[in-house]
Amino acid sequence: MPADALLSVRNVSKRFGAIAAVDDVTFDVAEGSITALIGPNGAGKSTLFNVVTGFVRGDRGDVLLDGESVFRRPPHALARRGLVRTFQLTKALSVMSVLDNMLLANPRNRGERLGLAALRPLWRDEERRARVRARELLQVFGLAAKANDYAGTLSGGQRKLLELARALMLEPRVVLLDEPLAGVNRTLGRSLLDHIEGLRAERRTTILFVEHDLDVVMRHSDAIVVMAQGRVVASGTPAEVRRDERVISAYLGTVTTDE
């Protein structure tokens, strides 16, 4: 494992019945990098995301976060260690206010314990601090005016922004974005990409994202991992991947594996 790898996927496999959804996948995500995970539909990208984030139990392999194994740890434990994800289909908590969506993600509120919840003075200050932080983030993401609206009233693009802003409340080290631009119009998409680049620049947050728009991937990522039929078929910088024959054939649908 290279010294600068923050997230390391090692020989991870996951089968669903006879189908090897993820088949012996290995790659690294360098600290502070924006790494893209691409591949045709059914390549296993989403399953890999689910295994890495604990939503699906992997069969074999290992996942290292900053050198420590986090393989098969439950999602909430991973989130608390700084590995936070978003979903392909946005999961805005509709019948909660935008602000409550943000406050929910605060990782250190004692008021979330049943025994202390009724004792407001014990958690009021932390709640106040979280609210300041949440409003700052909403400001950055252009959602400040919506703070008290139900999240369900936001447009599709705004929900994507909220999901990213909400993830940041956890102060993550790695953010995994599952198709952050799907269903988002160009303007909002550009603003999302700016935010993602800003994150890396300002907080050195590491980003791993799945995306289908190759234009975006080539322009905005430092490294690309290409998957097809559950396996990694290529990886490298955008320039390297662009020239790779295997990538082209994977996208044309005639996969030629090494064996």
Can you give the binding site for other proteins, defined by CB under 8 A?
Answer: 53, 55, 74-77, 79-80, 84-87, 91-96, 100, 103-107, 109, 111-114, 117-118, 120, 123, 127, 150, 152-153, 166-167, 169-170
Minimum Å gap between C-beta 128 and other proteins is: 12
- Spatial CB neighbours of 151, under 8 Å, sequence gap ≥ 6: 92, 93, 94, 96, 97, 98, 101, 159, 162
Q: Which of 154, 173, 151 is nearest to 104 (CA)?
A: 151
Minimum Å gap between C-beta 118 and other proteins is: 5
Minimum Å gap between C-beta 110 and other proteins is: 8
Closest CB to other proteins among residues 110, 204: 110
Closest CB to other proteins among residues 74, 198: 74
Closest CB to other proteins among residues 113, 243: 113
**Number of alpha carbons in the 13 Å side-chain half-sphere of residue 1:** 21
Closest CB to other proteins among residues 126, 213: 126
Closest CB to other proteins among residues 109, 229: 109
Minimum Å gap between C-beta 250 and other proteins is: 29
**Do 66 and 6 form a contact (C-beta atoms < 8 A)?**
yes
Give first-to-last CA distance, the chain, whole Å.
25
**Number of alpha carbons in the 13 Å side-chain half-sphere of residue 231:** 12
Rounded-to-integer distance, Cα 195 and Cα 165, Å: 9
**Do 83 and 174 form a contact (C-beta atoms < 8 A)?**
yes
Minimum Å gap between C-beta 254 and other proteins is: 36
